[in-house]
Amino acid sequence: MSTQTTGSAVQRIFIDKQSPKAYHALVQTSEAVRAVAADSGLDRTVVELINLRVSQINGCAYCLDIHTKAALRVGETTQRLGVLAAWRDTELFTPQEHAALALAESATDPSDAAAQESAYATAREVLTEDQISAVIWVAITINAFNRVSIMSKHPVRATARR
């Protein structure tokens, strides 16, 4: 079997389409995690901030596109979205959001044990145990979706300007 190429890059398989049962299971997990987050009292904007921050770290353009739109739909501001990559350097985020973002970052790159301990300690101060669990599950789930889109090279299509 030959491999098709586009320019110098090998054409990718959309693994979500190639293995729909596996992808559907991931979607079901995501739906369950969204319900867990809501049940824990995590605001939907916090969930979308986590989705965006993890996608920034992973460099997933497709998920950044999807979750920017979702964040705007649930009331997030363009100012906060614009500075999300530097959230620690602003006063725009609440203590709960700081804790959730730090914990999500540590779940995305768990190799820094000290950062992970610090993030967890901060989370324990301002989040409930259910919220901590939800934050970690949101981060785990978006990390999985990031990898599906990155490995598939899902395209980001231009939308009409308003």
pLDDT tens digit sequence for 93-114? 999 999 999 999 999 999 999 9
pLDDT at 161: 73
pLDDT at 3: 44
pLDDT at 8: 56
Yes or no: say if 83 and 92 are a contact pair by the CB < 8 Å rule: yes
Closest CA to 26 of 115, 150, 147, 124: 147
CA distance 25 to 4: 29
List the helix and strand counts (H, then E) for the chain. Answer: 8, 2
Low-confidence ranges of the chain (pLDDT < 50): 1-5
Tokens representing 141 are 């789930």
Domains, in order of start, for the chain: 18-152 (1.20.1290.10)
Residue 5 DSSP SS3:
strand
Which pTM value belongs to this model? 0.92
Residue 103 DSSP SS3:
helix
